[in-house]
Amino acid sequence: MRILVIGNGAREHALVWKLAQSPRAKEIYVAPGNAGTAQIARNLDISPTDIESLVKVACQKSIDLAVVGPESPLALGVVDALEREGIPTFGPRKEGALIESSKVFARELMQKYSIPCAQGTSFASFKDACDYVKKQTAPLVVKADGLAAGKGVIIATSKKQALEALADIMEKRIFDHAGDQVLIEECLVGREASLLAFTDGETVVPMIPACDYKRALDGDQGPNTGGMGSYSPSEFFTPELEEQVLETIIKPAVRAMAQEGKPYKGVLYTGLMITTEGPKVLEFNARFGDPEAQVILPLLQTDLVNIMEAVIEGTLSQIDIQWSAESCVGVVMASAGYPGSYKTGFHISGLGEVDQGILIFHAGTTRVESRGKGDSRAKRLQSEASPDSVLTSGGRVLTVAATGKTLADARAKVYRNLPRISFEGCYCRKDIAAI
């Protein structure tokens, strides 16, 4: 099969790595990929949001399976566009992706179909939102309706902070149109976990539960990021809890989408807060999580190509999906300054010096050959570096992962190897999976 993976993060590297293990995968292309995917697949210099070019290249290369990693192309309708050309594509159509791309839509769906979530209200008027906040008690959670690269949720510990968040989103429009509407929610308390599931629109098959770490610094301090690490399975997620989440949340959500005329297929990611009243939805995502994919996919024992094909063809009920009984831990190495501004173009050393079995999934990396991009320092470093050098090109640079018989085992392997890899200013959390 000729496979096209869309995206350039560590999630997409993990997807390419897993797909490449299938005997059915003959050629894998990645648009645009990174230095890691370039080692095992062919990178194509196309942006994940350039739908026209993606469709064109998929036709040219006679792609048999397209896999969409990130949310933006899903929200733009890349699946609809590829399907129009007859290209089998893994991921929900634009209308299905609304479950992530509009938090207001997701909330209305959950309310209509009695799916447990935080109490809350949506507003399209800044004044109405402010009036509402003034009548509430803090803490409050303010959410921009649309996609905001994981930054659109503000946990306001005072009314003043909530009002400031509203002004940022609705008046200053820091998230542009994503802030046309906002949600104001009660602040849920409990443990967080993510349960991802494959679905063909009817059958739902859960993956193994995972936990991710969104804050930049140890002890869940510092600003929110795209994710600084994760582990799987989550130790407190019992089979009973999984059953409850499946029956009260994930299956009802998939059925609800079908009933609304927006059939959903692909991966449905459910971010959960396990409260004293039971599990409640924090968010739905229309794709694999990043960094969850980097710890879930190494534990998957079934051929991912077969699973994705079954999802597309509506035959998921016929597939037996097997998971390893081991654990997996993934730690993100990030550039100094991330999630704020950071510099790029630094040489990454030690990539070849890790123990066997250590997985290095690349995100913001580039090979020395790719010239013309980056600042002058990056160019200078490029000319000084050896031909197989890898340079940093983003905020989250690598996810270093390992599997082990126990979580502690996997964790020890990762942290033993991390110091061997370095680049100027790199930082990572020291407390991933320290439970």
Q: How many helices (H) and strands (E) does the chain have?
A: 15, 20
If residue 400 lies in a helix (H) or strand (E), which one and from where to where?
A: strand 396-404
228 neighbors 334 (Cβ within 8 angstroms)? yes
Choice between 164 and 283, CB closer to ligand AMP? 283
Choice between 118 and 360, CB closer to ligand AMP? 118
Q: CB nearest ligand AMP: which residue? A: 283
For tokens 């303010």, the residue is 142
d(CA 133, CA 141): 10
Single residue of 145, 292, 303, 309 touching ligand GLY by CB under 6 A: 292
In order of 47, 98, 102, 146, 348, the CA distances from 72 in angstroms are: 11, 11, 12, 11, 29
Single residue of 150, 278, 350, 404 touching ligand AMP by CB under 6 A: 150
Residue 212 engages ligand GLY in binding (rule: CB under 6 A): yes
Work out what residue 285 binds among ligand AMP, ligand GLY, none; the CB cut-off runs from 5 to 8 Å by kind. ligand GLY
CB of 292: closest distance to ligand GLY in angstroms? 6
Residue 12 engages ligand GLY in binding (rule: CB under 6 A): no
CB of 215: closest distance to ligand AMP in angstroms? 9
Residue 70 engages ligand GLY in binding (rule: CB under 6 A): no
d(CA 49, CA 205): 29
CB of 136: closest distance to ligand AMP in angstroms? 13
Which of the stretches 86-94, 180-188, 328-336, 397-405 binds ligand AMP when contact is defined by CB under 6 A?
180-188
Single residue of 285, 327, 366, 403 touching ligand GLY by CB under 6 A: 285
Work out what residue 141 binds among ligand AMP, ligand GLY, none; the CB cut-off runs from 5 to 8 Å by kind. ligand AMP
Residue 69 engages ligand GLY in binding (rule: CB under 6 A): no
Residue 105: name the closest of 184, 183, 196 by CA. 183
Single residue of 19, 104, 118, 407 touching ligand AMP by CB under 6 A: 118
| Strand intervals (E) in 42-152 | 42-43, 65-68, 89-90, 120-123, 140-144
Q: Which of residues 9-68 bind ligand AMP (CB under 6 A)?
A: none
Single residue of 146, 152, 289, 330 touching ligand GLY by CB under 6 A: 289
Residue 330 engages ligand GLY in binding (rule: CB under 6 A): no
d(CA 389, CA 280): 46
User: Cα 47 vs. chain centroid, distance in angstroms?
Assistant: 17
Residue 149 engages ligand AMP in binding (rule: CB under 6 A): no
Single residue of 187, 238, 369, 375 touching ligand AMP by CB under 6 A: 187
Pull the structure tokens for residue 74. 């899903």
Angle at 95 between CA 94 and CA 101, to 5 degrees: 75
Residue 242 engages ligand GLY in binding (rule: CB under 6 A): no
Single residue of 7, 91, 206, 271 touching ligand AMP by CB under 6 A: 271
Secondary structure (3-state) at 309:
helix
Residues 6 or more apart whose Cβ sits within 8 Å of residue 264? 92, 96, 99, 199, 201, 253, 254, 257, 258
d(CA 39, CA 336): 26
Pull the structure tokens for residue 141. 């959670």
How far separated are the first and last CA of the chain, in Å rounded?
A: 42
Residue 282 engages ligand AMP in binding (rule: CB under 6 A): yes
User: Cα 215 vs. chain centroid, distance in angstroms?
Assistant: 15
Secondary structure (3-state) at 270:
strand
Work out what residue 192 binds among ligand AMP, ligand GLY, none; the CB cut-off runs from 5 to 8 Å by kind. ligand AMP
CB of 141: closest distance to ligand AMP in angstroms? 4
Residue 235 engages ligand AMP in binding (rule: CB under 6 A): no
356 neighbors 343 (Cβ within 8 angstroms)? no
The binding site for ligand AMP (CB under 6 A) comprises 118, 141, 150, 153, 155, 185, 187-188, 192, 214, 271, 282-283
The binding site for ligand GLY (CB under 6 A) comprises 150, 212, 227, 285, 289-290, 292
